C-alpha cells in the first residue's frame, strides 16, 4: 500500500494495493489532509492473501499491524519517527517498495492523470483505474 503525492491544484492521496510485481489491484482516494490511516482502514478488508505487506511510514499504526498479523500477513512498515520504541522490519524486503513507487509514477505519463483535469474525485479515480488497466493489465 502506498499513496499518491499531491497533484496539481487539487489535494488528493491515492492509496493502492499491488501484487508482488507491482501491478495495482485496488485503489482508494482520500482528501490530501486526511490521515493515511483512513486509506488503510478502507483497504484492509479487501487485502488478498499474502505473506508480506510493504507500506511507508504513513501506515505505521499498532492497530494496522495487529490486523495484518491476525490475517497472517507480516507487516514490513518502518516506524514513524515519533515512535518511542523503534519497530523492527525487514530492510532488504522493504527495498522492493521501489516497484510500488514505479507503479504510482507510470499513470502520471497520462496527461489527464498528471494534470488532474477531473475535479470530481470519482471521475479522477476512474481515469486512474483506466490508465492502470491499460498500463499494467493489457
Contacts of 49 (CB under 8 A, 6+ apart): 72
Q: What is the pLDDT of residues 89-129, one digit of tens each?
A: 999 999 998 999 999 889 888 888 887 777 788 888 898 99
Q: Are 6 and 32 in contact (CB under 8 A)?
A: yes
- Identify the pLDDT of residue 1: 58
For the sheet containing 2-3, what is the strand order? 2-3, 12-18, 24-31
Q: What is the pLDDT of residues 79-92, one digit of tens each?
A: 988 888 889 999 99
Place 10 in a pLDDT band, splitting at 50, 70 and 90.
low
CA 126 to CA 121: how far, in whole Å? 8
Mean pLDDT of the chain: 86
Q: What is the pLDDT of residues 32-67, one digit of tens each?
A: 888 888 889 999 988 999 999 999 998 999 999 999
- Identify the pLDDT of residue 53: 93
pTM above threshold 0.85: no
Domains of the chain, each with CATH number or no CATH:
2-137 (3.30.420)
- Identify the pLDDT of residue 8: 40
Amino acid at each position: 500500500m502506498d499513496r499518491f503525492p499531491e497533484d496539481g491544484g487539487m489535494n488528493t492521496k491515492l492509496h493502492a494495493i499491488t501484487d508482488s510485481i507491482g501491478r495495482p489491484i485496488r485503489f482508494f482516494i482520500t482528501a490530501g489532509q486526511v490521515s493515511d490511516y483512513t486509506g488503510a482502514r478502507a483497504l484492509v478488508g479487501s487485502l488478498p492473501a499474502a505473506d508480506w505487506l510493504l507500506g511507508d511510514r504513513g501506515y505505521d499504526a499498532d492497530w494496522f499491524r495487529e490486523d495484518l498479523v491476525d490475517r497472517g500477513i507480516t507487516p514490513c512498515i518502518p516506524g514513524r519517527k515519533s515512535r518511542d520504541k523503534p519497530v523492527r522490519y525487514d530492510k532488504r524486503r522493504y527495498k522492493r517498495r521501489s516497484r510500488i513507487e514505479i507503479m504510482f509514477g507510470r499513470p502520471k505519463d497520462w496527461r489527464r492523470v498528471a494534470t488532474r483535469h477531473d475535479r470530481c474525485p470519482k471521475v479522477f479515480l476512474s481515469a486512474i483505474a483506466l490508465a492502470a488497466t491499460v498500463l499494467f493489465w493489457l
